[in-house]
A = this chain, B = another copy of it.
Amino acid sequence: MTASPEQHPPGLDLEESVLRPVRGHHAFEACVEQLGTAIRLGVYPLGSALPAERELASRLHVSRATLREAMAALREAGLVETTRGRGGGTVVTLKPRSPSARAAARVSSAKRQDWLDALEFRRVVEPGAAALAAQLELTDVRREQLEQAHDAVAHASRPAPHRQADSRFHLTIAALSESPRLIEAVTSVQSALHEMLLAIPVLETNIAHSDRQHAAVVRAILAGRPDRARRAMEHHCDDTAALLRGLLG
């Protein structure tokens, strides 16, 4: 800790820890980020339609004018296309990208720091979500959805769709927990993870390993074994994190 520009003090400053920016950026930037994230994570896959503007705006607690600015940005960036009239709407046109190896060097120190924090946080919240999901009585429909999300990951052979399926899988588990706070936490963590994986080439062997761990998590959740689900997810997070930390420095 000698060369690093910012050195933390030996003591804690509670207020410094607690007082955080009251909100990140402008409303329309936040919309772009949230919708862009949802699209890239595969919540809205290629070819699917976004909700109508009026509904999206009310969902995001934002005026339609602001939402439209965001939509314009997404359209500009080539993520979506829009047609009007009844039956029209906005449709996803973004094809999932593959990781580009040379992007890894460009990340700033702050971003790197944030990524490492996301990995720590993930190791806490995702196992928590898995445990909670395993603890609940799941309807048949939901058990089905979980297995389906898992199958989608296992059967996706190409890297980019696999990445999206993986995100959807983890988000599905979070949604099963039924905890709004946990869902938001996992969404934010998956978004960070997605960024990281775009900057890092993924190895085939790791995908196979990862899928075995996914299967273990699904089994534990369906069997209603919270502790086992949590531990399985912890292993999965640990292994992913070790890999990423290694490739990030």
A interface vs B, CB < 8 Å? 8, 10-12, 14-15, 17-24, 27, 30-31, 34, 38, 41, 43-44, 51, 56, 59-62, 114, 117-118, 120-121, 123-125, 128-129, 131-132, 139-142, 145, 168, 171-172, 174-185, 187-188
Q: A10-B142, A124-B125 are in contact. Are A21 and B60 (CB under 8 A)?
A: yes
Residue of B nearest to A61 (CB): B21
User: Which residues from chain B contact A176 at a C-beta distance below 8 Å?
Assistant: 12
Q: List 24 A-B contacts (CB under 8 A).
A: A8-B178, A10-B142, A11-B142, A14-B172, A14-B175, A15-B43, A15-B51, A17-B171, A17-B183, A18-B38, A18-B43, A19-B38, A19-B59, A22-B30, A22-B62, A23-B61, A117-B180, A117-B181, A120-B182, A123-B128, A124-B128, A124-B132, A125-B125, A125-B128
Residues of B within 8 A of A181 (CB): 117-118, 120-121, 185, 188
Option from B11, B19, B31 in Cβ contact (under 8 Å) with A145:
B11
Q: Is the CB of B20 within 8 A of A184?
A: yes
A177 neighbours in B (Cβ, 8 Å): 120
